[in-house]
Structure 1
Amino acid sequence: MKLLLPTLLLTSMVVACSFLQLSLAYTPSPPVGGVCDSKCEARCKTAGYKERCVKYCNVCCTKCRTCVPSGTYGNKSECPCYRDMRDNRGRPKCP
């Protein structure tokens, strides 16, 4: 009876550690920041609010795996993920 509690405690610690290792085994790395930065700088170079444009463009670029439409306006059909992203009011999120 004295060994039952330590045995259960040790077993539960081993099981908990195995789940921790499984959860940490795969952590996808975000795309290289430089790729999104350069694409968004080109996309937002003529924007009136350039800082805000680059900020939201980088968010969209990261979520869409570095896909940013060419040009400074339009061409969103090139990146469906970028085109379909909406803010909480239903407006297009990506510049």
Structure 2
Amino acid sequence: MKPTVATFVFLSLVLLSSSLLQTTIAAGSSFCDSKCAVRCSKAGRQDRCLKYCGICCKDCHCVPSGTYGNKDECPCYRDKKNSKGRPKCP
């Protein structure tokens, strides 16, 4: 009987921790999604802007305010470069 109870407790803890992890990831994702939606609202190629803004936001945990400029608010975002040495983040 004891192994059954221990197994049940273990599985419950695993399910609870995975649920909390998914909630944390979703909350982080919604932060980036909302900030990048504002940042890319006036972009000519919104799909590309949202893609790279999302990548930069996840790495840097911040997005500059406004639709252009203000990159000094987030040095990590400002300093990311692509393979050609140009700014990666919109």
- What is the TM-score when the length of structure 1 is the normalising length? 0.67
Question: Quick one: distance in 2 between partners of 1:57 and 1:74?
Answer: 13
Please give the per-residue CA displacement for 1:20-68, whole angstroms capped at 9, x wherever unaligned.
xxxxxxxxx7671000000000000000000100000000000002x10
For structure 1, which runs of at least 5 residues remain unmatched after alignment? 1-28
Q: Check if 1:37 corresponds to 2:25.
A: no
SS across alignment from 1:82: helix
Q: Which amino acid aligns with 1:72?
A: T
Q: Check if 1:92 corresponds to 2:87.
A: yes
Q: What is the number of residues matched between the two proteins?
A: 66
Runs of 4+ in 1 over 6 A off after TM superposition: none
Partner of 1:79: 74
Q: Check if 1:59 corresponds to 2:47.
A: no
RMSD over aligned CA atoms reads 1.3
Percent identical residues: 61
Question: Quick one: distance in 2 between partners of 1:78 and 1:45?
Answer: 19
Q: Which has the higher helix share?
A: 2
